[in-house]
Structure 1
């Protein structure tokens, strides 16, 4: 079993996820529904595939943690892989990511979401259940900035899902476990790296939430994700992650820096054959900030219903907009959106040899050459038509001119 063949088959079926488990057929998630495909896969085959994917360097970490995350580009397809241990042995959960650079238009999101990244500082939360496309929406918001503004963008992800190609902005992407030991350390480091925009892939631990709020308060625009079913629940989850004696201060801090909250879920639309995001959008108006400061999150749904003028969208109103939408974007990547090359771990790469003999092919003589002086000591003639350059400091330009009949190397 080869990983390339698995990805090729999943893409042909239009799958978004692939699940592999010992003794069971491969399961593909197509339009939100699981399908079992093929014959049961032996556990030994998956163990061998896991060693190949994880590599010898990461195998000891996998045995210790019983889980390993990695992102790859195979068959022109960007994928996120979670290798895991289960009761049946080794298993895989593979997510097929979009091969194009995500934008609001390509994800069929409302263009008003561009307002979330217009401020120069503050906190933008992207929430929703697992697998609802939160990272894709984050990447689309960053791409809107990248295409129109010159900002320094730093992303902290585990692993990197979208390889962003810099256009107007300067983009630095860091992967937890490879480029930084933790989200906490990456956020501390980012404060010394002159960022304009920070993207936090996961905000689960209280310390990560604290550092994220501090970054949003100190003049940076911060995008972060939270698992929730509504915008009000997203805010409540952030506050409830802290001890009770700190929650009042966190509410005040959150009210001061909040820009907006997007809560989304994927819905399949048979008329276009696509799963598209259906969103609830909360914009931080003066009334909303007052609600957050008081910790009265039960009032958020009412604020969304009455806040259309401020840019708020309820799920129902957003569904009405989707029903009237006609300019659907199909997931066909443009030629210029080729995936970025895989990052090279230069710290672990084997160093190249300091010098290597180089060869220059002599041009065939077409006329009498002027008499030239003998070659210097560091250069000796080799086989016919070949010079072997021995020294690092040899004058290569003069040698080429000599070979073309330009004169001696004096």
Structure 2
């Protein structure tokens, strides 16, 4: 049915999320506490029930990857009043190409040439050093976009790619490149993201993928890896590019901030922020959601502002998107308005996902052909 998530909860039938909407599968019986425990134990990599239960009670959560028949899932178990519930996210069997991400079509720049978001991702994927951050809220498709970029590297050039994930989602097969995919956890391949990055730097990687930047230590390790000549891809849970930059700086309060601003400015290649917006005509245009992305590709002007820890990051992004030399940049609200203009999403949906207060002005300008 194309569900993005499946929830198993006591005294409820299985519930699925399709295009952002949860639906109870009433044709199935309500699940019992015993059903939830059985599902949790049967698909956990550690088959010892007492060990799984002890880990859940100690941390209040379990995260792992599993396979049921020929379907792969990312499993997240939580506790509610001491009882477990499960949210399972199906992992596509095949890794999509960049062309299959369903990005917006090319747009004309002020010079008249077409700017293709997919070509921008293609270019970013083939950079040899620096850091690319893909951001968005949970369920915005960050992992899929990263998988497609890493897959593009895999099919186009030879390099050693190390991924550090919790849990491992997409399984990459060696093609042109060589993979070592490491899972984070106390009893897994590596105890933490930062340890994984530090170890990876000793193993001659060309590319390091960090599943998620969760704290200062991991961010420091990622920046160090990028600074020493590696290409680093990672994710953050932020809504747009300005909030991503603010989040990075906020990890380093006090006297460390200026040093990190210089280090980040010298290593950042791009920040990509994305949202999945319900389509305007799901029945005629295909069920699903439209990927809308904001992209800031760092250039000299951007790096200067970052070194200064410039507070007016939204202005910086808007100006970068308007300059000819930065034709690959995209601004979220402008892209939302363009998606409305193309008939892909509704005005109401665009307003709901807009990140700035002056979205109505942006929508009017796009309608009038001035953007």
TM range (shorter): 0.7 to 0.9
1:68-147 mapped onto 2 (5 Å cutoff)? 68-87=62-81, 89-109=83-103, 110-112=117-119, 113-147=121-155
The answer for the alignment partner of 1:260 in structure 2 is 270
1:321 Cα deviation after fit: 6.7
CA contact (8 A) 1:43 1:88 kept: no
- Aligned partner of residue 210 in structure 1, secondary structure: helix
1:317 Cα deviation after fit: 4.5
1:97 Cα deviation after fit: 1.6
- Aligned partner of residue 248 in structure 1, secondary structure: helix
1:81 Cα deviation after fit: 0.4
Quote the Cα distance in structure 2 between the aligned partners of 1:197 and 1:37: 42
Asked if 1:18 is matched to 2:12, the reply is no
Deviation string 1:116-166 (CA, Å, 9 cap, x unpaired) is 122210010000111101111111110111110101110000000000111
CA contact (8 A) 2:318 2:331 kept: no
Quote the Cα distance in structure 2 between the aligned partners of 1:229 and 1:120: 27
Query: CA RMSD of the aligned region, Å?
Result: 1.9
Deviation string 1:259-291 (CA, Å, 9 cap, x unpaired) is 001000001222232223210000001111111
Corresponding residue to 1:278 among 292, 297, 302:
292
1:301-340 mapped onto 2 (5 Å cutoff)? 301-307=317-323, 309-310=325-326, 311-319=328-336, 320=338
The answer for the alignment partner of 1:149 in structure 2 is 157
CA contact (8 A) 1:20 1:93 kept: yes
Gaps of 5+ in 1: 1-12, 327-410
- Aligned partner of residue 243 in structure 1, secondary structure: coil
Quote the Cα distance in structure 2 between the aligned partners of 1:323 and 1:176: 43
1:323 Cα deviation after fit: 6.4
The answer for the alignment partner of 1:292 in structure 2 is 306
Q: 1:268 to 1:152 in 2, by over 3 A?
A: same
1:190 Cα deviation after fit: 0.6
- Aligned partner of residue 207 in structure 1, secondary structure: helix
Quote the Cα distance in structure 1 between the aligned partners of 2:3 and 2:19: 7
- Aligned partner of residue 124 in structure 1, secondary structure: strand
The answer for the alignment partner of 2:18 in structure 1 is 30
Instruction: Mark the structure with the bigger radius of gyration.
Output: 1
The alignment's TM-score, normalised by the length of structure 1, stands at: 0.73
- Aligned partner of residue 23 in structure 1, secondary structure: coil
Quote the Cα distance in structure 1 between the aligned partners of 2:290 and 2:68: 25
* Corresponding residue pairs, total: 314
Deviation string 1:50-76 (CA, Å, 9 cap, x unpaired) is 222332143332232121111122232
Asked if 1:172 is matched to 2:188, the reply is no
1:322 Cα deviation after fit: 8.9
1:33 Cα deviation after fit: 0.3
The answer for the alignment partner of 2:359 in structure 1 is none
Structure number with higher helix proportion = 2
Quote the Cα distance in structure 1 between the aligned partners of 2:73 and 2:323: 38
> Which range is displaced more, 80-89 or 259-268?
80-89
1:295 Cα deviation after fit: 1.2
Quote the Cα distance in structure 2 between the aligned partners of 1:106 and 1:169: 21
Q: 1:203 to 1:217 in 2, by over 3 A?
A: same
CA contact (8 A) 1:21 1:88 kept: no
Quote the Cα distance in structure 2 between the aligned partners of 1:30 and 1:321: 21
Asked if 1:61 is matched to 2:55, the reply is yes
CA contact (8 A) 2:294 2:330 kept: yes
Quote the Cα distance in structure 1 between the aligned partners of 2:232 and 2:340: 28
Q: 1:74 to 1:309 in 2, by over 3 A?
A: farther
Gaps of 5+ in 2: 104-116, 345-371
Corresponding residue to 2:201 among 191, 194, 218:
191
Quote the Cα distance in structure 2 between the aligned partners of 1:308 and 1:322: 24
- Aligned partner of residue 160 in structure 1, secondary structure: coil
